[in-house]
Structure 1
Amino acid sequence: MNQIPLFIAVLCFFVMIIGEILAYRSVPIKYKYEFEAISFGFILGVSTLILIPKAYFKMYAIYVIFGCIFVYLIEKYLSFCPMSKKYCLDCNNLELKNIKYIYPISFFIHTFIDGVVIAVSYISKIGLPLYLAILMHKFPAGFVLISPLKGVYRNPLSIGIIISLGTIFGTIFGLVVLNSIDPKILLAFSGGVFLGAFLMLVPHIYEHKKEKTLTYLLFGYSLAGLISIFS
């Protein structure tokens, strides 16, 4: 049944490619911050209502903290998330060298981690909530990925395709390597990763979209709450 997570990973790949093509053709995404706010509200809900509660065991808090620290370290030194302020066009905070070299590497790490989370969702039998949490941000992530790359690469789509494959590689890696680890440890760590991503990146979203950001976050959180009832 490994076909299920692999199918989700391939679907994520194509959804992200669609966002990249639109960015390459300079088609604007008018509500990208609203969409990100909803997706991060959903991620917070998945973390606090599904992952962390289902991961409960004596030492679970340590792995949740490890997940948060992991996100903090990567965000601090690479800014792996597509919504990072370090690589945000709207923040005018771009350095040519970083965009050409560090940015693609950090973004590949981001997509690879997405793939690992897809594998974790399958191994731990969580399924739908985690699949949706990854899928929801792939479209705007693809758009944000290509936007700065257009200024430094003649053919940014080829770079984007390689980076998007990180989700598939991460899923395969997770299915092969993580299968022998206690699912509750994986859930606790993934919950920490999602929680850390929320805490690190939502303030940046708020800088660009102060109006109704809380409303969008609550909407995403409520969606996760509804799904948690049936998970």
Structure 2
Amino acid sequence: MDEIPIFIAILSFIVMCIGEILAYYSISLKYRYEFEAISFGFIFGVATLILIPKSFFEGFEIFVVFGMIVVYLIEKYLAYCPLSRKYCIECDNLEEVIKIKFIYPISFFIHTFIDGLIIAVSYISNIGLPLYFAILLHKLPAGFVLMSPLKGVYKNPLYPGVIVSFGTVLGTVIGLITLKNISPKILLAFSGGIFLGAFLMLVPHIYEHKKEKSFLYLLIGYILVMVITLIQ
């Protein structure tokens, strides 16, 4: 049965690589911000409608907060954009080349690795479809955003791009091996904190580039989660 999360992880890897190829050949992903906004609304919906409600136990809030702190620390010390709005090639005052070349892909690898862990958690906790969809939804624009700055500092940026994308598969495999003996409720609470923290960190980035319709796209993503939850 472990084939299901592995399949989702490989599919995520492929979708992200497609985004990278589009960026590498300068093919515009015209609606990437809309895509991202919908995925962020979906992430917020998964956190508040599924993960956190299903994790209720005495002290669960500690693990939710811990998940949010992990996201904050990654964003504060490893994020690419100096405005802390994550992987933003269009912001002013870009970090120096050494940070773009090394710190940036490392931070993105951590992001994809955590995606893999979330896929494993969704399988172990029998959440399934909503979390799988939440991960897949943002992989295409994530690949595009990853590759855009790397083109300026690497001769062959697709190589580090593929390595970074593979973090999702690696995270899924390690998650399936190491997380099975941990309480599903703890995993859900921590994952809820990760998703909630990611949403709070990333929403300003979308608002910066899509002020006029950002709320609408976020709402679409949230409503999608509501519909999936009702169907299940």
| Superposed pair shares fold, TM > 0.5 | yes
Name the Cα RMSD after superposition: 1.4
Q: Separation in 1 of the partners of 2:155 and 2:84? A: 24
- For residue 180 of structure 2, give the secondary structure of its aligned residue in structure 1: helix
Match of 1:186 in 2: 187
User: Which residue number corresponds to residue 211 of structure 1?
Assistant: 212
1:36 aligns with 2:30: no
The structure-2 alpha-carbon separation of the partners of 1:20 and 1:213, relative to structure 1 and needing over 3 Å to count, comes to: same
Give the C-alpha shift of residue 207 in structure 1: 0.9
Q: Would you say the 8 A contact 1:80–1:110 is kept in 2? A: no
Contact 1:24–1:150 (CA<8 Å) still a contact in 2? yes
Matched, 1:18 2:10: no
CA distance in 1, matches of 2:150, 2:51: 35
Aligned residues: 230
Contact 2:130–2:228 (CA<8 Å) still a contact in 1?
Answer: yes
1:125 paired with 2:126, answer yes
Output one character per residue of 1:173-213: Cα deviation in whole Å (capped at 9) or x when no partner: 10001110000000000001000000111011101110111
- Residues 85-132 of structure 1, C-alpha deviations (whole Å, 9 max, x = no match): 353111033221110110111111111000000000000000000000
Q: 2:4 maps to which residue?
A: 4
Give runs of aligned pairs for residues 1-231 of structure 1, distance below 5 A. 1-79=1-79, 85=85, 87-94=87-94, 95-231=96-232
SS at match of 1:179: coil
Counterpart secondary structure, 1:129: helix
Q: Distance in 1 between matches of 2:229 and 2:80?
A: 28
Partner Cα distance (1:12, 1:19) in 2: 11
Q: Residue 113 of structure 2 contacts residue 167 of structure 2 at CA under 8 Å; is this kept in 1?
A: yes
Residue 75 of structure 1 and its aligned partner are, at CA, apart by: 0.7
Displacement of 1:59 after TM fit?
A: 1.1
**Which whole-Å CA distance do the structure 2 matches of 1:9 and 1:86 have between them?**
22
Alpha-carbon distance in structure 2 between the residues aligned to 1:85 and 1:185: 28
- Measure the CA separation in 1 of the matches of 2:186 and 2:171: 18
Identity fraction in percent: 70
Once the two structures are TM-superposed, the CA of residue 230 in structure 1 deviates from its matched residue by: 3.2
- Aligned equivalents of 2:101 and 2:87: distance in 1? 11
Please give the per-residue CA displacement for 1:31-70, whole angstroms capped at 9, x wherever unaligned: 1111111100000000000000111111111111111111
DSSP-derived class of the 1:106 partner: helix
Unaligned runs of 5+ residues in structure 2 are none
| Structure 2 residue identity aligned to 1:200 | M
Letter in 1 for 2:69: I
Q: How far apart, CA to CA, are the structure 2 residues paired with 1:59 and 1:141? A: 34
State how far apart, in whole Å, the 2-side matches of 1:26 and 1:217 are. 27
Give ranges in structure 1 of 5+ residues lacking alignment.
none
Q: SS state of the match for residue 110, structure 2?
A: helix
- Give me the whole-angstrom Cα distance separating, in 1, the residues matched to 2:17 and 2:175: 22
